[in-house]
Amino acid sequence: MNEPLLEIKNIRKVYRISGGMFQRRRTLRAVNGVSFAVDRGSVLGLVGESGCGKSTLAKIMLGLETASEGKILLEGQDIAALSCRQRTRRIQPVFQDPYASLNPRKSIQAIISLPLQVHKVGTTAEQNVQVEKIMDLMGLPRRVRYNYPNQLSGGQRQRVAIARALIMKPELVICDEPTSALDVSVQSQILNLLIDLRRELGLTYILISHDLAVVEHLASRVAVMYLGRIVEEAPTEMLFKKPLHPYTTALLTSVLTPDPELGLPETHLGVAYPNPSEPPSGCTFHPRCPKAVERCKVKIPQPVLKDGRMVECHFPNY
């Protein structure tokens, strides 16, 4: 069997936060023992409500945060041993808001070629050719190369952000809500572009999205995160056809909210998302779970692996 491109092994991220005046500092376990693997050329969809830890996990993978515990292996190599340059050459992000992530004072040519300059790849003439090639691949007209981000449409700006992410030919691209800041009319164009690029360039994606339809369309596997843990992980078709965890079931039967800041559709679970610094006992989903019994309040469910999927629940829906 081929080695996975990326392996996340028992990653934890703990913050000590102030409890306010006269109160002791509290511990926030933003990521609480997350493990998964991503095969080369595949797309892992990562879903979960705001505060579940998915953004922290993305920052750790990008080297913007340091894990308190655990390891991340890229082709078997611990990425902690890679320099910042080596890591950014192999793992690149595409963020939600292309306007915020592009320097408004730089031309499109300067933005796209910046990674080549930082990594000292080729002469200026060779860099210009690379920029032309990637602009063609992105469907960006060459005439916009000397324009500035505010002269482009939202869809074009996201194409520029993707071009910048891909110009160094990374192996892994972490797409954090790549279409949610865009008009509905251009969302599908960007999604189709991501699909085509993956096929043509052999890319691997981790796709963080609040839009389950987008995840179903793009991802080969889906990981569902709740309060710092992956509570279910499965091939996309299996997960959408037959969710095993009650939280996944609630997500799939909920209605999509247009606001990506809310993280996920309104789940109608009756009880609000818990404060991550005061997680419930036992199974942390128990206050919201329609299937919860006494045992769920005291006993933490352990991951169960079966038929190529994983679930953390005492009573999975087999």
Q: The tokens 């041993």 sit on which residue? A: 81
Contact between 59 and 11 (Cβ < 8 Å): no
Q: Give the bridge partners for 36, in sequence order.
A: 8
Of positions 227, 230, 285, 309, contacts ligand SF4 by CB under 6 A: 285
Interface with ligand SF4, residue 214, by CB under 6 A: no
Burial class (CB in 10 A: 0-12, 13-18, 19+), 310: buried
Q: How far is the CB of 315 from ligand SF4 (least distance, A)?
A: 4
Binding residues for ligand SF4, rule CB under 6 A, total 13
Interface with ligand SF4, residue 40, by CB under 6 A: no
Q: Give the bridge partners for 221, in sequence order.
A: 44, 235
Of positions 34, 219, 223, 313, contacts ligand SF4 by CB under 6 A: 313
Q: Binding marks (x or -) toward ligand SF4, 218..257, rule CB under 6 A?
A: ---------------------------xx-----------
Q: Binding segment for ligand SF4 among 174-182, 190-198, 235-243, 288-296 (CB under 6 A)?
A: 288-296
Interface with ligand SF4, residue 273, by CB under 6 A: no
Residues of span 291-310 touching ligand SF4 by CB under 6 A: 291-292, 296, 301
Contact between 257 and 211 (Cβ < 8 Å): no
Nearer residue to ligand SF4 within complex by CB, 159 or 245 = 245
Contact between 230 and 9 (Cβ < 8 Å): no
Nearer residue to ligand SF4 within complex by CB, 36 or 226 = 226
Tokens of 222: 């889906």
Integer Cα distance of 210 and 258 in angstroms: 9
Integer Cα distance of 16 and 18 in angstroms: 7
Q: Binding segment for ligand SF4 among 45-53, 176-184, 261-269, 282-290 (CB under 6 A)?
A: 282-290
Tally of CB atoms within 10 A around 39: 16
Interacting residues toward ligand SF4 by CB under 6 A: 245-246, 283, 285-286, 289, 291-292, 296, 301, 313-315
